[in-house]
Chains A and B, each alone.
Chain A
Amino acid sequence: MRTIALIKRICIQMIRDKRTLALMMIAPLVILTLLHYLLSADTTDPRLGVHGAEEALVEQLKDKEIVVIPYEILKSTEQVIKKDQLDGVLQVEEDKLNLTLTNDEPSTSKVLQSKVFQAIASENAKKQANNLTEVFADFQEKLPNVPLNQLSTPEINTSYIYGNSETTFFDQLSPILVGFFVFFFVFLISGIGLLRERTTGTLDRLLATPIQRRDIVFGYLIGYGLFAIIQTLIVVFYAVKVLDIMIVGSLWNVVLINLCLALVALLLGILLSAFANSEFQMMQFIPIAIVPQVFFAGILPIEGMAEWMQIIAKFMPMYYGGNALVDVMYKGLGIDSIKNDLFVLLGFALIFIMLNIFALKKYRKI
């Protein structure tokens, strides 16, 4: 009954605080939308200046979606690159190829470099093949009775286990982002909610009544939990239905994972607010407790990390959440493959509940 009184009060307060409510419900959607258009936008074709290349090679380069700008005379590559805003210059001098990359954006440079190499390689292959055909013709002329099987160039078929050739970076990233925004905004609002209770002295006052510490923790958990559930549903459905984010597995599993994440974030927010004396100090927990979560959520490959980093990852709720979300949304796996992640998240929640009840001892011993 005391818990219900607390829940009622939190609900009234939340509904009256329109701005916080808007932050919780709308801000994640805005950020998600921006990221969606940022990350799934087509990259522009790289611009390459070419000097002294054969027509065939230029054609190959154009086939690889490179904008080729031919130069008759090339004095200073650097000047040309700056003047014409090129991503690189390719100079051909007899057998020597010189590729100068601007490298102001390493990712563009990498793409350009690999495309140029591919073009050169396929051009070379073509030449080789022509040479071979000539050699064969020569052979057959001289030895008409010997059957010779000419090797055909192998055809490469690419197939994908997860996603397809149209998959963008955002498709792989979006499950993690959805989870992270749920995590972040729930953390922020629950933490500041209880903090306000601490700084205005009402928590002290509350503890002069017969309310038990666990009543307070559960009251907060359920009160803010209700809003966290609504927020999670809005974020997930917006991502899937409006932004049309790729989701291969079950939508309900996605909702389930996000609800677990919201639960952990809620409890973490309440817990950390015990160690903050003001909203500003609460903000200071964001770079310490929240931002690192992103690093270990699966955006960067965990397997490649140093061993001690991998150990840290195991302590991050987002590591499990991100993993489960990618499994369901991108790989289309079922509940069996995510249930361990969910158990770990619930484990985090349980530990945080205990710690919260304990942390309130600072305010009252019993």
Chain B
Amino acid sequence: MPWTKLSAMVSPAAACAPRRRMRRLAHSSALVLLSALLLSGAPPEKHLSVYSVVTNYSLTLAQRDGRDYVGLLEVLEPLGKVSARTEGSHWRLHYNNVEGEFQNGKPRARIQGRDYDLGGKFFMENGRGAVPLTSLSSILPRFLGGPVSLHEDSGRLFIGSVAIHFTASLASDRLVFNFTAPVNPTIATEPGALRMTFSREPLVAPASPTLTFGSRTIPAASYREANGSAVVTVNSTIPVIASFSNGGRTIIVSPNSAAAQNASAAPSAAPGATAQGPPTPGLTSSPGQPGASATPATGPYRRYFAIVDASHGGEDHGETLSATLVEKDVTVALARSLRQELESRGLTTLVLRDSDANLSPDQRAIFANADHAAIYIALHAASNGHGVRIYTALLPFSEDDRGPFRSWTTAQHAWLPLSQSTAAAVAAEMQRRQLPVRTLIAPLRPLNNVTAAAIAVEVAPQGSDVSQLTAPDYQQLITSAVATAIAGSRDQLGSAP
């Protein structure tokens, strides 16, 4: 039946119809406005990204008692055989052969006969259990039988050794990112910045969250993590574009050619420049004739003159120097001090490990080689002996080089004379400062994998007091001697960029 006819038939109601319609419209508008207000004021949904060897996935976090909570069943389901059953207020979870028992409203759990503090109450809803996000770092290793690393603030969980590391180096006016595994970030540009968001990739922070390049066109890049993603932002003074190569392992950020032509202040791009990825472990580019190896690293790609490597890190503590002091902490302090000393002498320096990250010897060598630094310095600390030991590589029994490729285990071979002369210079400077010093060769990785002058400095106390290793004066005495010697060998090592 047409509306007009109905309206005509019900004449008393028709008289009030316009007023009712107006009221209904006003109510609807108010409801829409209120919803919009509520939605705009609501906090964004929080996520947990889980990275494992098996799969990568994302889960939504819930808020309880002002904390972030996550469903434990949902975390474990993609990783293996898992089942749960409810018995009254108890919740029993089976993951492969591991059993855990939780109780609704209680902050403790029992896994394989051991009690764990969850750091907050356990909640049970519809047969599914939720635990505080913070508790994953303690309870998951028990279920999974391996280490996990939780970045709680950013909602990122790394199960096992899955992390992807990266380096960034400026080649001419192009910024080259090299990753240890293929990546496929979401890329967005805005005036003055290019943003790469890694949601699916277990990308981890570089040694320093802010990387500066001293370039007018691309002065800096920064790394941050938020809500289950890692974001690398490249700051630029001109429009830039990103391109992929090397099977997704390399991203090159370069000036947008049309815009670059208009930017007269910006330096022109070097047409011959090409991105160069890190060598594959096992094979690395031949450094060429040994006679030409005195300055093998000179070229347009060198960003840092020196790479300083704080040895050990993460679960690798190095030597336990005392009840409260481990080697990995001393090496970081020494590395920071050495960077300061080198940079004060005008030598650009990158500290390879500036946090408690765990890098393998291969990764350290790959990063050092990709940066084409003039010298690589590994720092160690020891409780035995006195003074300082300077090491160069003891090369293993050589494997056959294949064509233009050199064996990874003896990649240092062509640089060994340069490494030894640098070690001798450092030792001479130590002696000049009356520090007890020895120069030795050592079967110490990654010295044999580095394609640059490479030395390791092992610092021991002068006497029997190990606490001297943490004394700023002692650290500076040593790092200043190392920096002075390296600055003195600058011409031999190759001029800085």
Q: A and B: real partners?
A: no
